[in-house]
Chains A and B, each alone.
Chain A
Amino acid sequence: MPKIGEYNDITVNLENLVGTVEINRPPHNFFDLSLIQQIAQAFESLDKTSDCRSIVLCAEGKSFCAGANFTDGRALKGDGSEVGEREGDDEELPMGHLYVEAVRLFRTKKPIVGAIQGAAIGGGLGLAMMPDFRVTCPEARFAANFTRLGFHPGFGLTCTLTEAIGRKKAELMFYTSRRFKGDEAVAMGMADVLVPQDQVRSAAIELATEIAECSPLGVVACRQIMREGLADRVSAATAKELAVQTRLRDTDDFAEGVKAMTERRVPNFKSA
């Protein structure tokens, strides 16, 4: 498989008109600003070559993407206290810059199939909901567990999840932080294809190939109509999400939520 470009945390290949972008931070592929930038870069390069008609986004290791890596500039220890510097009380989270980069992922032209072979949790679910379609397996886990942590959904999920599964089901996921298995995800419309775990990647490539057999100009033009305004809606959504996340970040409930998760117990929230 011919490799394309040089990246730190992802590998990009191009074969038979399908580009594969593989996240290489096994086993859990936590994301941060740098990873998102690399993926955006890869998508934008693949946009420019007529040798690529569709893209598969996949990941090495156990999880697809188990969440955010908080260690860039602002880390959380197990007890909820922070290390690292804070530039001022009103400083926006690194998330702010991350979400700006994340919106780039929604602005590229070619259809993307996500190969969700394992857990897609929190912001990792946000990344998983970015592709046009998702192939998954019964072993995968989908969860928007922000409110369990005393936090709030992000990565445009208030837009992308709603648009994929409808507002009712999105609300259910957000308010309960429940985990759904891969087969449940397909039944809900959160994923589109269900296969055994060892076939997830090949099935994703198969779907991407099916798309690649259709006329590239027609597909791209059609996708532009279908996804019209999506990137802007995601951008607007992340702005609202970020505002709430910034506010909640300072609450005792957030510290308690993170602590409870580390200690594997039900959190004791105080609404403050």
Chain B
Amino acid sequence: MPAFGSFKDVTIDIEDHVAVVEFSKPSQNFFDVELISEIADAFEGLDETSDCRAIVLASPGRIFCAGANLNDGRDLGEKSPGHYPLYEQGVRLFRTTKPIVGAIQGAAIGGGFGLAMTPDFRVACPESRFSANFTRMGYHPGFGLTVTLPETIGRKHAERMLYNGCRVKGEEAFAMGLADVLVDGPKNVRPAAIELAREIAQCSPLGVVACRTIMRDGYADRIAAATDKELANQNSLRGTADFTEGVEAMTDRRLPHFIGA
């Protein structure tokens, strides 16, 4: 794929007008700024490729994406006033033009859940897990989840997931519209995602792209505005004792003891 340059953690494979974009950071597929940036580069490159009419976003292994690599503090901090590399790269994923199907074969946790919400549609299996566990950690939802989640599953379900950080398994996800297709096991997820992408690819590319632009009108901007607010909240919470306690409790696998400060 000469048009895309070379990627470190992302591969692209195009067949029958469907491009499979696979990101891989074994073993749990934590992401950092560079990974998000590479996925965005891939999507933007595919926008210019007439061979591609629909995209499948996938990852290898048991876990779709376990979240942000928190050990690398660089990604979460402000580079310069108002400049947050991680979310700037993240919003790029919402600005490209071709439909994307996510193959969510396992856990999508925290920021990984945010990444799972970038595709238009999601294929899941009973082993899939969606978890917005931010408030369990003394933190606040990010990656545009305060927009992508309610706009996909309605505000009621979104609020429930965000306020009590519950884990939603594949079948429940399908029932609430978080996943659009439910298949029998992790092995069947990617083929089913490709099948849906192929079905889309049989329709006229110009019509689909024009239509998607109308349907998603303002979506990326709403998400960009949301990430600003989410970041502001995250920044103020990162300095709290509750956040330190939340991260510690998660590492120690115990219930956190919050004090509201």
Q: Could you list which residues of chain A lie within 8 angstroms of chain B, going by C-beta atoms?
A: 50, 53, 111, 132-133, 163-164, 166, 189, 192, 207, 210-211, 213-219, 221-223, 225-226
Contact = CB atoms under 8 A, between A and B. Distances in A.
Given A164-B156, A222-B146, A214 B163 contact: yes
A219 B233 contact: no
B166 interface: yes
Nearest to A193: B160
Interface stretch (B9-17, B24-32, B135-143, B202-210): B135-143
Interface stretch (B90-98, B185-193, B253-261): B253-261
Contacts of A189: 154, 156
A164 B226 CA distance: 21
Interface residues of B, number: 37
Interface in B210-261: 226, 229-230, 233, 236-237, 240, 242-243, 246, 255-256, 258-261
A133 B240 contact: no
B199 interface: no
Contacts of B163: 111, 132, 211, 214, 219, 222-223
B74 to A, nearest CB: 23
26 contacts: A50-B259, A111-B159, A111-B163, A133-B159, A163-B155, A189-B154, A192-B160, A211-B163, A211-B164, A213-B164, A213-B255, A213-B256, A214-B135, A214-B136, A215-B237, A215-B243, A217-B237, A217-B261, A218-B140, A218-B237, A219-B135, A222-B163, A225-B146, A225-B233, A226-B159, A226-B162
Interface of B: 134-141, 146, 150, 154-156, 158-160, 162-166, 226, 229-230, 233, 236-237, 240, 242-243, 246, 255-256, 258-261
Given A192-B160, A215-B137, 4 more contacts: A192-B156, A214-B136, A214-B258, A218-B140
A133 B166 CA distance: 15
B255 A217 contact: no
Query: Which interface residue of B155, B255, B261 has the most chain A CB atoms within 10 A?
Result: B155
Nearest to A223: B163
Contact of B260 (A133, A211, A216): A216
A105 B97 CA distance: 42
Contacts, number: 88
Nearest to B147: A225
Nearest to B246: A215
Contacts of B136: 213-215
A52 to B, nearest CB: 10
A217 B137 CA distance: 11
By DSSP majority rule, is chain A's interface helix, strand, loop, or mixed? helix
Given A215-B246, A216-B260, A226 B135 contact: no
A215 B150 contact: no
B176 to A, nearest CB: 10
A-B CB proximity, top 6 nearest: A214-B135, A218-B135, A215-B138, A221-B233, A50-B260, A216-B260
Contact of A218 (B134, B226, B261): B134
A222 B135 contact: yes
B155 A225 contact: no
B256 A215 contact: yes
A222 B158 CA distance: 11
A166 B163 CA distance: 22
Contacts of A133: 156, 159-160
Given A192-B160, A214-B163, A226-B146, A221 B255 contact: no
Contacts of B150: 226
Nearest to B138: A215
Contacts of B258: 214-216
